[in-house]
A and B are shown apart, each in its own frame.
Chain A
Amino acid sequence: MNHIIRKFTRRVPVWKPRVKPVKQEEATSEQLEALKITPSNTKVSDYVLTLAHDAESLAVRSPLFNSIMYDKGGMSREERELGAIAASMVNHCVYCASIHADRHAKLAKSTEATDKLFSDGSKANLTPRQNAIFRFARKLSETPPETDAQDITTLRETGLTDNEILDLILSTSLFGWANRLMHVLGDPIRPEGGS
């Protein structure tokens, strides 16, 4: 019996697809080529095997994902993860929020920010810089986006450069895409008896 996780947690669940993933041993040459690069360069999971149903999209999306989240310069990896977490909380993608909260905590060497976000949501008592980043990312993730001139001003006033703001826009927007795959195509579960 599997238990679907509905509350945000940093303990990463298992992602169970709602459609049948491609069987790797039956994959076409185009699908195998697309599977050579995975988001975050992780193993070939049920998630990427699910996305392999659309090999053309997978082949262009994975390098774009890795570039936005990991290219050098601009915003720190830790703060890009904050954009990812904000989008995932708006779209209630529990799996994405979990993975990226875990990464944020490891990069920050602290669970303080993600503990506060998961317990208090948009009222979390973060540092002024974290708060400006999270608030902007949360508003950009709404439909339609709710960001306004003051949000950009606040980011600049809290010390973000325009290079960092661009990376925040990109990482947050990317998770508008990721959430519409992960949350829509699967469930975050905790297998009974699992750790």
Chain B
Amino acid sequence: MNILETTVLSVASVSVGNQVEAVARTRTQVFEMTQMAEDTVLRPEDFGVFSHELRAWLAGRIAEQAGDSNLKFHYLKGAGITENSHHPELPNGLNWDTLITFVDKAANSTRNVTADDIVNLQQSGFTDKDIVKLCQLIGFIAYQTRVVSGLRMMSGIFS
């Protein structure tokens, strides 16, 4: 794997000769494993009630709210959906509003999540397996957006 082609380094504009490139190469394994984590969390074999398209759509929403439209477009492009696409559907009559309320709170206001938020998901029909899968997705995007943000800062890119 060429680590410069991994999502975090390419979206952060770390390229050959960039001042951060040599530093990044000291942690090659971390960038390779980060890419494996993205591939797994966004496109798992056992995707459950969250299709690959829905995961990409949610990832794009979280990235945008974290101020990273480049990452948003990366996620959407990976799933073949566009910014103006209607959100992918949930199966089995699961409630969209319940899902999106939880995703926004866990991603952006983590400190305020309580046991009641988990109960709401359970009472809406989400299984414990669904909930863990959802939290892994939300958590991974939180990680990836911050790594990209930090790398841009190191490179002197402050937009």
A residues 171-195 in Cβ contact with B at 8 Å: 172-174, 176-181, 183-185, 187
| B115 CB contacts on chain A under 8 angstroms | 18, 187
Is B146 touching A54 in the complex (CB atoms < 8 A)? no
Is B132 touching A172 in the complex (CB atoms < 8 A)? no
Q: Which residue of B lies closest to A91 (CB)?
A: B110
Q: How close is B93's CB to chain A, nearest CB, in angstroms?
A: 21
Is A74 touching B143 in the complex (CB atoms < 8 A)? no
B residues 122-154 in Cβ contact with A at 8 Å: 122, 128-129, 131-133, 135-136, 138-140, 142-147, 149-151, 153-154
Q: Does A148 reach chain B (CB closer than 8 Å)?
A: yes
Q: How close is B102's CB to chain A, nearest CB, in angstroms?
A: 9
Interface of A is mostly: helix
Is A141 touching B146 in the complex (CB atoms < 8 A)? yes
Is B118 touching A163 in the complex (CB atoms < 8 A)? no
Q: Does B11 reach chain A (CB closer than 8 Å)?
A: no
Q: What is the bound-complex CA distance between A162 and B36, given in angstroms?
A: 25
Q: What is the bound-complex CA distance between A55 and B107, given in angstroms?
A: 22
Interface 9-residue window, one of A58-66, A98-106, A107-115, A116-124: A58-66
Within 8 Å by CB of B110, from A20, A74, A163, A183, lies A183
Q: Does B33 reach chain A (CB closer than 8 Å)?
A: yes
User: A140-B149, A166-B27, A170-B27 are known contacts. Are A61 and B158 too (CB-CB below 8 A)?
Assistant: no
Q: What is the bound-complex CA distance between A67 and B140, given in angstroms?
A: 16
| A169 CB contacts on chain B under 8 angstroms | 146-147, 150-151, 154
Q: Does B76 reach chain A (CB closer than 8 Å)?
A: no
User: A141-B146, A173-B146, A180-B107 are known contacts. Are A163 and B136 too (CB-CB below 8 A)?
Assistant: no
Within 8 Å by CB of A166, from B23, B34, B46, B139, lies B23
Q: Does A143 reach chain B (CB closer than 8 Å)?
A: yes
Q: Which residue of B lies closest to A17 (CB)?
A: B128
| Chain A interface bracket (under 10, 10 to 19, 20 to 34, 35 or more) | 35 or more
Q: Does B94 reach chain A (CB closer than 8 Å)?
A: no
Q: How close is B17's CB to chain A, nearest CB, in angstroms?
A: 15
| B108 CB contacts on chain A under 8 angstroms | 143
Within 8 Å by CB of B29, from A19, A71, A140, A184, lies A71
Within 8 Å by CB of B67, from A18, A145, A168, lies A145
Is A20 touching B128 in the complex (CB atoms < 8 A)? yes
| A147 CB contacts on chain B under 8 angstroms | 149-150, 153
25 contacts between A and B (CB under 8 A): A19-B122, A19-B128, A53-B132, A57-B40, A57-B44, A61-B140, A64-B37, A67-B30, A71-B27, A144-B66, A147-B153, A148-B158, A149-B156, A152-B154, A162-B23, A165-B150, A166-B151, A172-B150, A176-B139, A177-B139, A177-B142, A177-B143, A180-B107, A181-B135, A184-B106
- Given A57-B133, A64-B37, 7 more pairs with CB closer than 8 A: A74-B26, A91-B110, A144-B67, A145-B146, A169-B150, A177-B142, A184-B117
